[in-house]
Structure 1
Amino acid sequence: MKIFGALFLLLSFALTVNAQTITRRDSLQGGLRSERTSFDVQRYDLNITVNPDKRYISGYNNITFKVIESTKRIQLDLFENMQVDSIIYDTKKLVYKRDNDAIFITFPKELKKGNTEKVRFYYSGTPIVARNAPWDGGFVFSKDNQGKPWVGVAVQGTGASLWYPVKDHQTDEPDNGATIKVAVPNGLMNVSNGRFTGSEDLGNGYTRWDWEVKNPINNYDITVNIADYAHIHDNLNGLDLDYYILKDNEEKARKHFEEVKPMIECFEAKFGKYPFYEDGYKLVETPYLGMEHQSAVAYGNNYKKGYRGMDLSYSGIGMLFDFITIHESGHEWFGNSITSTDVADMWIHEGFTTYSETVYVECRYGYDKAMKYINGQRRNVQNDKPVIGIFGVNREGSSDMYYKGALMLNTIRHIVNDDDKWWAMLLNFSNTYKKQIINGENVVTFFNRESGINLTPIFEQYLNYTNIPVLQLRMNNGSPEYRWETDVKNFIMPVDIITHKNEVRLNGTNNWQAIDVKAKSLKDIEALKNRFYIKVEKL
């Protein structure tokens, strides 16, 4: 997840994306052609050396895959600034053709449907360095307070193929996990996803650190973190909690990360068991702000409450917890466990995860503070363009996927108007699609079915249009009337109002309807906007 905090960053990002045009490179990265759909990745086995001083990577990735449709040609991906050294299949070098970042590989004979095959992809080069991670993808080469190398990487949206050869599309995660073996200069450690399985001094000034992931994992979640780390271990009801932090920060980290346990307990109660028990839970200190790297969550908030010491909700509630710890960990359920098929549907990751912040607040501090927190986030919504992006070209929609997405979910909660039912739905959603790749239609269909309400027009209005529903109120011959003004036709959504201290639920449509209350003027009617993300116009 690329965190959008300060509003000027939100706006500059939106303007940059709007200025872009769709290129062949975008289509090659975001599209699904036969060279991609003909095979299903089973696992990645990375074995690389990282030279921090030269900012250089070399090594290979063993890519094991199952043939879905017989083929002689497949597409893998590696950024064109990186060198393809050779691609080996059955001890022989394969012929390949580069097209932008796509690598089209031709096999000497047809690969038969149902077979399991493996290629070893040797590569090397100087990966792109991020200017401002995690907002732009790339490596971060930094130094700790002792002058030792401190290296991290964040590539969501940009593409995992920025630094290793991969089938770079969200629809295909390695079903059987991955190994990440990274050699770094002696005196440093590499921390990657999953479980630590051992280290080996290679006798050449480098030590290789080996990690294994048991679960399917997003391509962009696979990570390296290189530093002279200290290690803190803890446990919560059988779940291993591990923190890798710079040695200068060990004492403060022990205290600061105490909020991890109540966070995990809250999220497990609301979203189900932590999805990756086999791989454990880690926070790894990084030289950039944060990223949801599965089972190795990147942490760079400098042990502050809020977001870099600021409250993104402008409510005061955001200073009660560390934004990066809570938000990035929420992605373990939404984004890492439940993954969208296309980045155009990244609201599935970001809307639900931003909502998880409010869920955490409610677990710890109660409903009223939760509503204060999420409604404070309204100020971050731009309503600049649709939340849903452009499919097939690796193009996200508006950054409103975060806060508008969360406010939409809060609205749906209050449409359901039954908290027991709402929490059961959210838990069932998380469990139903655990470790699965889904699209927006799957989400809408699920919530329609589980709620017993046609929520399709509501999802459509919030996700496909910049406008939010406008509740229009007027007096007609001394009686109050109301209707919804929306882009979606035949829009139906309930809303709660207060009049003379009485709460009334209205079942609004696009047509004017009478409000069955006594009101001398519209001043006597107040819509409960803390429950519904709407505008109100009194005509």
Structure 2
Amino acid sequence: MDHRTPAPAPDRRRTARGRLPLVLALALLGGGCTGGVEGTPGAAGLRDPYFPGLGNGGYDVTHYGLELDVDPAADRLRGTATITARATQDLSAFHLDLAGLEVAGATVEGRPAAVNRAGRELTLRPASAVEDRLREGRTFTVVVRYSGSPETVTDPDGSKEGWLRTADGAVALGEPAGSMAWFPGNHHPSDKATYDIGITVPEGLAGISNGELVSRRTANGRTAYRWRTAEPMASYLATVAVGRFTTRESVTPDGIRLFTAVDPRSAAASADVLARIPEVLAWSAKRFGPYPFTSAGAIVERAGDSSYALETQNRPVFPGPPDTALLVHELAHQWFGNSVTPASWRDMWLNEGFATYAEWLWAADHEGVPVRESFEAAYADDANWAFPPAEPPTAAELSEPPVYGRGAMVVHRVRLAMNDDRAFFALVKGWTSAHRHANASTDDFTAHVEEETGQDLAALWDAWLYGGSRPPTGAGEP
């Protein structure tokens, strides 16, 4: 997971709290409504290949408005989530993903909604008076008030995500499912939305998030930060970092607003690498197409606050001072993963393979290391051949070497098959343009490549993307 680029290398628990109300149970089992809103309940889970319970059916979120009050000393979070969504079916009830936190109440279209909790599934049954707003194609608004001590979630691979306590606050990391630890939502990458996030913290601490800083005001010993992400974002890319940070704001020559937040203990060691952000963005744009967002930057925690870097949208989070290769990798994710987001977690190699290939390209352009050498080193590494990158055996293997190294080899084999660098980079730019701010699958990618090249590349996909063993050739020129 980088989701997970291990730093320093460049690269549930809750049980149901009560039985379902009888009328809701009948609706869930029978697919209808007893004297209430017409329609059927949205699905609890989208049947992702690795996280089948993640996400929810029946609606598409278009916007999250989050108001968070964080008290690190008391280890408490109070939140209000205002969720704007469009019904994709006639709904009688629907679900939100939320881990651990206590729900004080919820409304749908301003009317109190019945709330039932079962583990990480929050089921809302709207009042019958708002049934017209829950018909297919209509937009509706949900408000959920909640509080508690947010959970730290353990991933299938043993890494930690969700709400991570730090020496002076906390950092929220969401890949693949940790964002449900601090706000309710539709937490599958296929449902992207815009965000407004307000964070109120004790005076002297900062509350950092995605997008652009809209305002910062201090009163009565508390400071309120407001952030806006105007481009669609998958919830696993949302972040909050609370603590003491040295912050800096600037604008690149291309007009991209930069905001960096660095833990004072990491500031000196981070300065030179972070100063290269404009250079890396400009270089990436030449390779991959226009930068897909209006803001960029970085959040650098002190070493040990987390165990990996994460490509949180607009400003990646680093667990201590990054090196240049790691910066290149995480900024490449702004194109591959953040703008072009995987349709399901099976498609994660598209994120990591392209971000790893970006490291190879940077090494070729700036360090005199031909891509051929990077390819051959990856080819020789037995760890990259444990399984096909497009078919990790379990969720625990989603962040293993084949997804990164062999994923990058797939990209390079496409380049070799085309035998035309200009055409190859035009194809990559076409890919990031065609799926800008959207979702894409492995099948979308292979179809895109074959359509653009006019070639039948079934043998390439069989050997490099889906094959169970190392192909007989390691040729990687140029």
Name 1:78's counterpart in structure 2: 98
Alpha-carbon shift at residue 7 of structure 1 (Å): 13
SS of the residue 1:268 aligns to: helix
- Mark the CA change 1:129 to 1:32 in structure 2 (over 3 Å): closer, same or farther: closer
Q: How does 1:300-311 map to 2 (within 5 A)?
A: 300-303=319-322, 305=323
Alpha-carbon shift at residue 249 of structure 1 (Å): 4.5
Name 2:37's counterpart in structure 1: none
Residues 387 and 465, structure 1, Cα contact 8 Å, conserved in 2 = no
Name 1:125's counterpart in structure 2: 148
Matched, 1:227 2:243: yes
Residues in 2 aligned to 1:134 and 1:352: alpha-carbon distance in whole angstroms: 25
Name 2:31's counterpart in structure 1: none
Residues 334 and 353, structure 1, Cα contact 8 Å, conserved in 2 = yes
- Mark the CA change 1:85 to 1:531 in structure 2 (over 3 Å): closer, same or farther: farther
- Mark the CA change 1:398 to 1:283 in structure 2 (over 3 Å): closer, same or farther: closer
SS of the residue 1:449 aligns to: helix
Query: For 2:161, which of 137, 141, 162 is the aligned residue?
Result: 137
Residues 444 and 456, structure 1, Cα contact 8 Å, conserved in 2 = no
- Mark the CA change 1:159 to 1:119 in structure 2 (over 3 Å): closer, same or farther: same
Name 2:69's counterpart in structure 1: 49
Higher RCO, Cα 8 Å, sep 6+: 2
Query: For 2:226, which of 182, 189, 210 is the aligned residue?
Result: 210
Name 1:158's counterpart in structure 2: 177
Residues 112 and 127, structure 2, Cα contact 8 Å, conserved in 1 = no
Name 1:192's counterpart in structure 2: 209
Name 1:414's counterpart in structure 2: 416
Q: Deviations over 1:295-336 (max 9, x none)?
A: 121123425x3xxxxxxxxxxxxxxxx232111111000000
Residues in 2 aligned to 1:470 and 1:423: alpha-carbon distance in whole angstroms: 27
- Mark the CA change 1:153 to 1:222 in structure 2 (over 3 Å): closer, same or farther: same
| Number of residue pairs aligned between Structure 1 and Structure 2 | 431
SS of the residue 2:275 aligns to: helix
- Mark the CA change 1:161 to 1:108 in structure 2 (over 3 Å): closer, same or farther: same
Q: Deviations over 1:363-421 (max 9, x none)?
A: 3245x533323432342634223323489x97864621111000111122112111111
Residues 60 and 121, structure 1, Cα contact 8 Å, conserved in 2 = yes
Matched, 1:433 2:435: yes
Name 1:67's counterpart in structure 2: 87
SS of the residue 2:126 aligns to: strand
Q: How does 1:456-535 map to 2 (within 5 A)?
A: 456-470=458-472, 529-531=475-477
Alpha-carbon shift at residue 355 of structure 1 (Å): 1.0
- Mark the CA change 1:6 to 1:294 in structure 2 (over 3 Å): closer, same or farther: closer
Matched, 1:297 2:354: no
Residues 3 and 311, structure 2, Cα contact 8 Å, conserved in 1 = no
Alpha-carbon shift at residue 118 of structure 1 (Å): 0.4
What amino acid is the match of 1:123? Y
Matched, 1:173 2:192: yes
Name 2:121's counterpart in structure 1: 102
* CA RMSD after TM alignment: 3.0
Residues 333 and 355, structure 2, Cα contact 8 Å, conserved in 1 = yes
Name 1:92's counterpart in structure 2: 111
Alpha-carbon shift at residue 62 of structure 1 (Å): 0.4
- Mark the CA change 1:459 to 1:159 in structure 2 (over 3 Å): closer, same or farther: farther
SS of the residue 2:290 aligns to: coil
What amino acid is the match of 2:174? V
Normalised TM-score (structure 1): 0.73
Q: Deviations over 1:59-107 (max 9, x none)?
A: 111000112222111111101x221221112433211333331222112
Q: Deviations over 1:318-367 (max 9, x none)?
A: xxxx232111111000000001111011111111111111122233245x
Q: Deviations over 1:443-477 (max 9, x none)?
A: 00000111221123322333333313225xxxxxx
Residues in 1 aligned to 2:256 and 2:116: alpha-carbon distance in whole angstroms: 45
Residues in 2 aligned to 1:126 and 1:282: alpha-carbon distance in whole angstroms: 29
Name 1:376's counterpart in structure 2: 377
Residues 384 and 405, structure 2, Cα contact 8 Å, conserved in 1 = no
Residues 411 and 531, structure 1, Cα contact 8 Å, conserved in 2 = no
Matched, 1:243 2:260: yes
Residues 26 and 394, structure 1, Cα contact 8 Å, conserved in 2 = no
Alpha-carbon shift at residue 131 of structure 1 (Å): 7.2
SS of the residue 1:412 aligns to: helix
Matched, 1:353 2:355: yes
Q: Which runs of 4+ in 1 moved over 3 A?
A: 4-8, 24-33, 130-135, 247-254, 393-398
- Mark the CA change 1:262 to 1:362 in structure 2 (over 3 Å): closer, same or farther: farther
Q: Percent identity?
A: 21
Structure 2: state its 5+ residue gaps: 12-43
Q: Relative to structure 2, which stretch is displaced further, 100-109 or 179-188?
A: 100-109
SS of the residue 2:352 aligns to: helix
Alpha-carbon shift at residue 234 of structure 1 (Å): 3.1
What amino acid is the match of 1:344? R
Residues 5 and 310, structure 2, Cα contact 8 Å, conserved in 1 = no
Larger-gyration structure (1/2): 1
Residues in 1 aligned to 2:47 and 2:456: alpha-carbon distance in whole angstroms: 34
Matched, 1:447 2:449: yes
Residues 180 and 212, structure 1, Cα contact 8 Å, conserved in 2 = yes
